């Protein structure tokens, strides 16, 4: 595994988390696919980033083609050096981390990378005035300081076992970003980094284009041009791939299957932490009722969703962690049990009416479930969920809407949501469940608040002993069964179809966000033409 390939993993997964409009590039050179050339590639993805600035959260998990972090992840998600020339030196019982920078790294404007750039990046992310909703992920950081030009020292408030994996955060140039407001500056759409590619254009809702960085410290990429074509509609994306307008695309299972016997293309399947779940807002009289929550959890047929909606490309989700994750609590698996769902509703006074829907104290067991329009997989999950809920006497009205409509309603209405982070369990679970983050953007969307879960999250974040951390996350998963703030449905595999012009391509285990910088093109800077 080369250092450049290792870096690619880190630089490669937020552009996936980035992409939501609906047209593809038009004609002309920029919009056309590679046409058989191995040095140009056009990828179709469903959404686009709001920003390209790491100061606002872009690439925070080590996933950008434009930037590098101190560390990166290889194909197996193991941490490896990137801008740092080695893994950190850890002292003071896990409270001090020292990184030595790789020599002679330059930003794309020719200016050298220094330790002050690293200090500026982290301090700005942690600044309360910066609109970065992920700053809680760096809660352990007490101080960052430069020790000369090539050393950075992090001092933590408490030992945090997962801290090295947080240092995949992309580093920005202080001499450029420091002259602007991090929330509104032009750096958000015209970034300068140390990564293998340079942004050459961004037509909002249409495409992002990149060219290879000839002075990249890891070596100039063989793929000289990358285009991210933003195509929200799954069917349109598949059609444009089939017509040759795209070289590759992210596709749902039913559409990926139509390319199965295509000799000129390959299909790649990546296992993931990406789950689909229904948020159950505490501020809604029905979804905030623990008995209703538990009944919904028992009523849903997860395996049927995997078989029928995902065509087998996924697994049932009994919580936020996938079945094969080492942190998964094996005793929380539970099959559909409609009889038990009905029993607990009866016990709590939810009586079935003449229309088959239950009511209690004059209130019907009914609520609205939103899903983002155009997302067929989420729509199918929502409809299956509503069908299962009705069998237990709960009426779920399914509605498609844009995120502009959904976001203001997330605290009151249920949403067919998607989440999931790779790496340490703290990364995905804390922002998903901790009560302090209730309603903080897409963090803790249902305003979930359970003291036992909060306690487990804090223990899991701060404990150093792996056994203590495992016990805490086991407790958390069991608490979610007793008081589900979400109905977890499936963990989905990501499917990609790509022209077969490059050799020995791989995928990683992926987070929720995926697209341009995940799948087989996670390390496009290392691709070699097929011989």
pLDDT tens, 130-161?
Answer: 999 888 889 999 999 999 999 999 999 999 98
List the end-to-end C-alpha distance of the chain, in Å, as a whole number: 20
Query: Would you state the structure tokens that stand for residue 260, as one six-digit string?
Result: 């199965």
Is the pLDDT at 18 greater than 60? The verdict is: no
3 state DSSP class of 88: coil
Is the pLDDT at 294 greater than 70? The verdict is: yes
pLDDT of residue 519: 86
Q: Percent of the chain at pLDDT above 90?
A: 79
d(CA 431, CA 453): 12
Q: Which residues contact 196 (CB under 8 A, 6 or more apart)?
A: 4, 7, 8, 11, 65, 212, 213, 216, 218, 221, 525
Chain mean pLDDT for the chain = 91
User: What are the residue ranges spanned by the domains of the chain?
Assistant: 3-193+493-526, 275-492
pLDDT of residue 515: 61
Candidates 281, 271, 201, 343; CA nearest to 487 is 281
Is the pLDDT at 53 greater than 60? The verdict is: yes
pLDDT of residue 64: 85
Is the pLDDT at 243 greater than 50? The verdict is: yes
User: What band does 531 get if pLDDT is binned at 50, 70 and 90?
Assistant: low
Helix 376-391 and helix 290-299, axial crossing angle in degrees, nearest 10:
110
The superfamily CATH assigns to domain 275-492 is Dipeptide-binding Protein; Domain 3 (3.10.105.10)
What's the mean pLDDT in 173-185?
97
Question: Cβ distance 299 to 341 under 8 Å?
Answer: yes
User: What band does 228 get if pLDDT is binned at 50, 70 and 90?
Assistant: very high
What's the mean pLDDT in 310-333?
95
What's the mean pLDDT in 289-293?
98
pLDDT of residue 518: 82
- 436 phi and psi, to 5 degrees? -65, -15
What's the mean pLDDT in 238-256?
95
d(CA 164, CA 61): 11
When comparing pLDDT for 317 and 63, which is higher?
Answer: 317
pLDDT of residue 298: 98
Is the pLDDT at 337 greater than 80? The verdict is: yes
What's the mean pLDDT in 177-192?
96
pLDDT of residue 161: 86
CATH of domain 3-193+493-526: 3.90.76.10
pLDDT of residue 134: 84
- 130 phi and psi, to 5 degrees? -90, 130
How many CA atoms lie less than 13 Å away from 155 in the CB half-sphere? 6
Query: Would you state the structure tokens that stand for residue 470, as one six-digit string?
Result: 């495992």
Is the pLDDT at 522 greater than 50? The verdict is: yes
d(CA 231, CA 42): 12
Is the pLDDT at 19 greater than 50? The verdict is: no
pLDDT of residue 89: 97
- The residues facing 74 across adjacent strands are none
Is the pLDDT at 32 greater than 90? The verdict is: no
What's the mean pLDDT in 352-362?
96
User: What band does 17 get if pLDDT is binned at 50, 70 and 90?
Assistant: very low
Is the pLDDT at 15 greater than 90? The verdict is: no
CA distances from 430 to 167, 308, 366, 452, 476 (A): 18, 31, 29, 13, 11
Q: Percent of the chain at pLDDT above 70?
A: 92
| Domains 3-193+493-526 and 275-492 fall in the same CATH topology | no
How many CA atoms lie less than 13 Å away from 446 in the CB half-sphere? 30
What's the mean pLDDT in 232-257?
94
When comparing pLDDT for 279 and 34, which is higher?
Answer: 279
What's the mean pLDDT in 106-127?
97
pLDDT of residue 122: 98
Question: Cβ distance 83 to 105 under 8 Å?
Answer: yes
Is the pLDDT at 31 greater than 60? The verdict is: no
Is the pLDDT at 6 greater than 60? The verdict is: no
Is the pLDDT at 231 greater than 80? The verdict is: yes
3 state DSSP class of 305: helix
Q: Which residues contact 204 (CB under 8 A, 6 or more apart)?
A: 21, 48
pLDDT tens digits, residue range 372-393? 998 889 999 999 999 999 999 9
Query: Would you state the structure tokens that stand for residue 345, as one six-digit string?
Result: 């509703």
Question: Cβ distance 13 to 61 under 8 Å?
Answer: yes
Is the pLDDT at 22 greater than 80? The verdict is: no
Is the pLDDT at 96 greater than 60? The verdict is: yes
pLDDT of residue 516: 61
């Amino acid at each position: 595994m080369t250092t450049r390939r290792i870096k690619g993993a880190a630089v490669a997964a937020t552009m996936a988390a980035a992409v939501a409009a609906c047209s593809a590039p038009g004609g002309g050179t920029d919009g056309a696919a590679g046409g058989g050339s191995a040095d140009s590639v056009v990828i179709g993805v469903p959404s686009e980033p709001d920003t390209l600035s790491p100061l606002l959260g872009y690439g925070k998990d080590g996933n950008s083609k434009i930037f590098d972090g101190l560390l990166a992840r290889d194909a197996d998600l193991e941490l490896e050096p990137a801008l740092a020339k080695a893994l950190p030196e850890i002292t003071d019982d896990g409270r001090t981390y020292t990184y030595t920078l790789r020599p002679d790294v330059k930003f794309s404007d020719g200016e050298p990378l220094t330790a002050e750039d690293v200090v500026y990046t982290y301090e700005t992310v942690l600044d309360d005035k910066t609109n970065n909703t992920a700053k809680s992920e760096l809660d352990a950081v007490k101080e960052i300081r430069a020790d000369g030009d090539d050393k950075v020292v992090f001092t933590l408030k408490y030992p945090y076992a997962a801290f090295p994996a947080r240092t995949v955060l992309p580093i920005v140039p202080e001499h450029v970003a420091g002259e602007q407001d991090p929330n509104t500056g032009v750096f958000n759409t015209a970034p300068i980094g140390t990564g293998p590619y340079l942004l050459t254009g961004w037509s909002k809702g249409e495409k992002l284009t990149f060219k290879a960085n000839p002075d990249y410290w890891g070596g100039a990429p063989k793929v000289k041009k990358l285009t991210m074509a933003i195509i929200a509609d799954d069917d349109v994306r598949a059609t444009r791939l089939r017509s040759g307008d795209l070289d590759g695309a992210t596709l749902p299972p039913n559409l990926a299957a139509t390319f199965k016997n295509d000799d000129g293309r390959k299909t790649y399947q990546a296992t993931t932490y990406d789950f689909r779940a229904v948020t159950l807002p505490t501020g809604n009289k029905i979804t905030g009722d623990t008995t209703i929550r538990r009944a919904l959890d028992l009523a849903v047929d997860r395996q049927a969703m995997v078989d029928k909606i995902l065509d087998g490309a996924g697994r049932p989700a009994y919580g936020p962690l996938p079945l094969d994750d080492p942190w998964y609590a094996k005793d929380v698996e539970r099959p559909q049990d409609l009889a038990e769902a009905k029993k607990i509703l009866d016990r709590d006074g939810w009586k079935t009416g003449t229309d088959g829907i239950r009511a209690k104290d004059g209130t019907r067991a009914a609520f609205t479930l939103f899903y983002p329009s155009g997302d067929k997989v989420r729509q199918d999950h929502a409809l299956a969920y509503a069908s299962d809920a009705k069998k237990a006497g709960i009426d779920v009205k399914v509605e498609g809407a844009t995120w502009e409509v959904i976001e203001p309603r997330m605290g009151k209405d249920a949403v067919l949501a998607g989440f999931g982070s790779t790496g340490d369990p703290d990364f995905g679970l804390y922002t998903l469940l901790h009560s302090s983050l209730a309603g903080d953007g897409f963090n803790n969307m249902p305003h979930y608040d359970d003291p036992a879960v909060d306690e487990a999250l804090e223990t899991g974040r701060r404990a150093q002993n792996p056994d203590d951390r495992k016990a805490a996350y086991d407790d958390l998963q069991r608490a979610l069964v007793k008081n589900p703030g979400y109905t977890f449905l499936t963990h989905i595999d990501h499917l990609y179809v790509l022209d077969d012009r490059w050799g020995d391509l791989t995928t990683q285990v992926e987070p929720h966000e995926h697209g341009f910088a995940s799948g087989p093109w996670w390390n496009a800077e290392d691709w070699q033409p097929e011989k």
